[in-house]
Amino acid sequence: MRILMTGAGHFLDKADIVGKDLKELMVLSGGNSGNYMIGHGAMYHLKRAAGDAGTVTYMKLSQLRFADKVYLEENFDIIVVAGANMINERADFAFIYRALKNVNLPVMAFGVGAQAESSQVELTPPGGTINFMKLIAERSDRIGVRGSYTAEVLSKCGVKNVEVNGCPSYYINSHDKDFRITVPKRDELQNFKVSLTMKRDRKKYHADDQLRDYQKRMFREGFDHNYKLVVQTEMLEGNIGFSKKIDEDALKRFRKHFEIADSDLERGREWLLNNVGIFFTYQEWSDFLSDIDFSYGARFHGNMMALMKGIPTLAITHDSRTRELCEFLNIPAHPVEKLVEGTEAIYELYDALDYSYFNSQYHALCDRFNQFMVDNLKKSPVD
């Protein structure tokens, strides 16, 4: 099977990073390094499906829109869209609908998600996006969507053949029948080590104001306890994590946003240089988390990277996307509005974690996703 994958990209090789600055790498990632976790999960499943004799080729949507019809039909058997938060009021995929409507190939998609402040929002995507979803629905067995809210939005647009199955990154350990998440007691750990994920790139929803206030408190605790911080979109922290340098302007902005006292500024400089990271290769991100006991924060795919390494995580939900993903995939989560009103320390949130339901359902969900892949690709993944 010759598979053409498009949509979310996969992690870069280390050689691909050489000579590029952070802005270039952020553009390649689609503005969020966490997107690579989506593409990584998609590529994992598609390579298993293709088998040793098959191929999986990646092409950006911006390239696919100009691809020649004959070239696509002669070189590929199916086009697979690794989706993200594609269903919203602004993103119009008319350009890719026009590119594919006359291409005589099956088209399937998974990871498709709606983006809104809450599941109570009556969301109507642009016409071009609706047409693109209808095209996929016509050429596949069913579309994989992130949660029930996305399924409801698409249903109202006339797209009925969908299956809620979250994100492909969740199923990376589907081959490991012993995979489960254990939550050791803190007194069993040599030193409780935490990795935080934060979201500071949106000022649109009421929850964003709550998240800003809560993350200042969360940051202070991380700073005081020498926790790590994984960055995905924020350029201030990202530049520091990427270059391992910090100038006075960046330090002043850091102090202002997180309200750091002058007496703590030098310690803050050292913390930023030693504890902050942004990653574009799988191995470097994985290595950064190698000694971590707990991942916590508002970045779903930042937490997913840790979760697939067997590290307990707790998500902060702040919109329809994060809520529906955590609810369907049984990932422990707290809404930001609850956290901002509470007083629990991060270690107390860890102590209250319960992964029993996650563990009881993980492989059943993996089997269900595997069947989704079989039905769409008409070929069972290679064991």
Level-2 CATH architecture, domain 2-176+364-377: 3-Layer(aba) Sandwich (3.40)
Kindly report the number of other CB atoms within 10 A of residue 178's CB atom.
Answer: 6
Residues 82, 40 contacting (CB under 8 angstroms)? no
HSE-up of 265 (CA within 13 Å, CB side)? 15
- The stretches in the chain having pLDDT less than 50 are 379-383
Residue-level pLDDT at 330: 98
User: Which of 114, 149, 132, 118 is closest to 6 using CA atoms?
Assistant: 132
Q: What is the dihedral of CA 209, 218, 318, 314, to 10 degrees?
A: 180
Give the CA diameter of the chain: 66
Residues 26, 278 contacting (CB under 8 angstroms)? no
Q: What is the DSSP string of 250-305?
A: HHHHHHHHHT--GGGHHHHHHHHHHHEE--SSHHHHHHHTTT-SEEEES-HHHHHH
Tokens 């050429």 map to which residue?
139
Cβ-Cβ contacts under 8 Å for 154 (sequence gap 6 or more): 87, 112, 114, 133, 143, 145, 160, 162
Each residue's pLDDT tens digit, 5-26:
999 999 999 999 999 999 999 9
Strands 107-110 and 143-145: unpaired
CA distances from 277 to 20, 32, 245, 251, 381 (A): 16, 13, 12, 16, 34
Q: At CA 113, angle to CA 280 and CA 50, rounded to 5?
A: 60
Tokens 């902060």 map to which residue?
316
Residues 336, 315 contacting (CB under 8 angstroms)? no
Domain boundaries of the chain, sorted by first residue: 2-176+364-377, 186-354
Residues 78, 209 contacting (CB under 8 angstroms)? no
Task: In whole angstroms, give the CA distance from residue 176 to residue 160.
Answer: 33
CA distances from 184 to 160, 191, 308, 350 (A): 43, 12, 17, 10
Helix, strand, or coil (residue 2): strand
Strands 78-82 and 2-7: parallel
- 126: which 2 tokens? 């642009």
Helix, strand, or coil (residue 322): helix
Task: In whole angstroms, give the CA distance from residue 277 to residue 240.
Answer: 8
pTM (two decimals): 0.93
**Burial category of 337 from C-beta neighbours within 10 Å (exposed 0-12, middle 13-18, buried 19 and up):** middle
Residues 107, 100 contacting (CB under 8 angstroms)? yes
Domain 186-354 has CATH 3.40.1000: no
Strands 162-164 and 333-335: unpaired
Task: In whole angstroms, give the CA distance from residue 242 to residue 226.
Answer: 19
Q: Which amino acid is at 274?
A: N
Task: In whole angstroms, give the CA distance from residue 185 to residue 51.
Answer: 41
User: Which residues are registered as beta bridge partners of 268?
Assistant: none
DSSP one-letter code for 140: S
- The reply to whether domains 2-176+364-377 and 186-354 share a CATH topology is yes
Q: In what order do the strands lie in the sheet with 55-58?
A: 55-58, 2-7, 78-82, 107-110
Residue 108, phi then psi, degrees to nearest 5 = -120, 165
